[in-house]
Amino acid sequence: MQFAAAGDNPHFGCGWNNLKQVEWVLQGVKNDNHFYFWEDFYFELTRRSLSTGLMIRNYKQAAAFGAEPMGQGVSNNLQTNPEANGFEYVGCEDCYFDERPGIVQ
């Protein structure tokens, strides 16, 4: 999708809804799966094509991989990451991180 070429300015943002357990009771407890989700999300988001050098996954695909890495993520034991529950994104979920005008994905 070429939003910039059409005169649009695509944006993407993300965060957590109220399903995410971030209560004061858990302070000081490291939740590994939370960090695994982010590592898997960014790993998938920033994968590049060997031929073009452009990124090959959009934000929605990266979030789906973070939720279900099927043992291919940072933790090879993690099939489905429960920490993906409550992950919310707004904006251009079909955009690529490095989308630029004139570049076709």
Concatenating the DSSP letter of every residue in 29-97 gives ---HHHHHHHHHHHHHHT-B-TTT-SB--BHHHHHHHHH--TT-SSSTT-SS-GGGTTEEEEE-TT-BT
The whole-angstrom separation of Cα 105 and Cα 5 is 13
* The residue to which tokens 């920033």 are assigned: 46
- Give me Rg for the CA atoms of the chain: 16
In this structure, are residues 40 and 66 in contact, taking their beta carbons and an 8 Å threshold?
yes
The per-residue pLDDT string of the chain (105 residues; one tens digit each, 9 = 90 and over) reads 455 567 666 677 888 887 766 555 566 777 788 889 999 999 999 999 898 888 899 999 999 999 999 999 999 999 999 989 888 888 888 888 776 544 444
55 and 48 in contact (C-beta within 8 Å)? yes
Instruction: Please give the model's pTM, rounded to 2 decimal places.
Output: 0.78
User: Domain segments of the chain: what residues?
Assistant: 29-105
| DSSP 8-state assignment for residue 100 | -
